[in-house]
Amino acid sequence: MTTWADTLAQDLLAAVQAQDFGSTPDARRGGAAAAFPNIDLALLELNHAGGPRWANVLFSREHPLGLIAEIGSEAGAVRNVRFDADLQNAQHDAIAWRPGADWSRLDRTPIDAARGAARHRFVAPYPASLLKLMVAVGLGLAVDRGLCDWPAALEPMMVVSDNEATDDCVALLHRVGLLAPQHDNALNAAFAAWDLDTLQINDTTPAGGWRNADGAGVGHIHMTAWDTARLLWLLDPHAPPAPWLPAGTATLRATTREHLHAVLAMQQRDEILSSGTLRGVPGWVAGLPDAPRYAHKTGSTDNYASDAGIVRDDHRHYIVAVLTSLGRRYAPDERCATTWRLPALGAAIDALLTQEPA
């Protein structure tokens, strides 16, 4: 029997396939197409007439036609995919995305060892500055526990993706005991308690270091689209209770969720799934609604582009998260963060989920 979730997953697969990501020009290959990029895309429709429905689809050189994640009726963790950590070498360079990289020789390690035997493997692209969403949630936990007040650095970290502000926020989380230089830290434990085991911030430094050169970054800081979408569910002040958590599970206080949502709604980098920042650039393609209707955080480097947030107005209420290996090297213009195919995908998703008034 076909369910609402099955239909959404098939629609989402088709939306990605329609963008022909496999032919995206790669500047590092002189404009030729590279191996099929890694795309991890999750969607949560919260205003569906039959109740919330969701889907997670994944694409890579190993799954160029797409793979549908198995997710139960309680919206728990993905069951059929082993998410492997991204990789950097001794020179602190990301190596999985180099032209000609031989994936058969990569030393691949699962992010969540409990799912190490899952039948499909997928290299989870580094989230780039989307990781700052996890840092912001850590600050929310610290505020809820009375360990600190909201730092002034929160807003620039989230709204304009200021890296020095992120240094300050990471250092603060070390001072209040939520981060540690090792893998085992209280923030990761909180994510695990919320059943979000692929969300991890590892190996940051007490001075606020979180980049590759600090011994963190690629291969140490992890996110997947489905767990990111579920984290945003926990931050959405208008979402129903999370069905995968036992009743009474402590998350963030309502005032903390509202504050974080308000900061996300101030986003000034609409340049991945939404594209308002780029109006006027030749070839401009419309995407998702811009902030504040899309309360979100983006991330981009030469290798990566990611975006996740909450879309809500009179006709929409959904959460979307995407992590990809489609960074600036795939951009058609130096002002762009990624290929126009990603905002085009955003527009297709919005058309799929926007509910017109009766």
Give residue 73's identity as a one-letter amino acid code: S
Residue 114 CB: number of other CB atoms within 10 A?
10
| Chain-centre distance for alpha carbon 98 | 22
Q: Residues 93-143: pLDDT tens digits? A: 999 999 989 998 888 899 988 877 888 999 999 999 999 999 999 999 999
| CA–CA gap between residue 215 and residue 221 (Å, rounded) | 10
Q: How far apart are CA 188 and CA 231, in angstroms?
A: 13
pTM greater than 0.85: yes
Mean of all residue pLDDT scores within the chain: 94
Summarize pLDDT for 54-95 with one digit per residue, the tens. 999 999 999 999 999 999 999 999 999 999 999 999 999 999
Share of the chain above pLDDT 90, in %: 87
- Altogether, the residues listed in the chain come to a count of 358
Does the pLDDT of residue 148 top 90, yes or no? yes
Longest dimension (CA), the chain: 58
Residues 291-341: tens digit of each pLDDT? 999 999 999 999 999 999 999 999 899 999 999 999 999 999 999 999 999
Residue with tokens 């807003």: 155
Q: What are the residue ranges spanned by the domains of the chain? A: 4-128+222-353
Whether 185 shows a pLDDT value over 70: the answer reads yes
**C-alpha separations of 197 from 193, 265, 299, 308 in Å:** 8, 26, 21, 18
Phi, psi of 26 (to 5 degrees): -115, 120
Q: Which two tokens stand for residue 274?
A: 């939404």
- CB atoms under 10 Å from CB of 49, counted, come to 7
Q: What is the mean pLDDT of residues 39-51?
A: 93
Pairing of the two strands 120-123 and 81-84: parallel
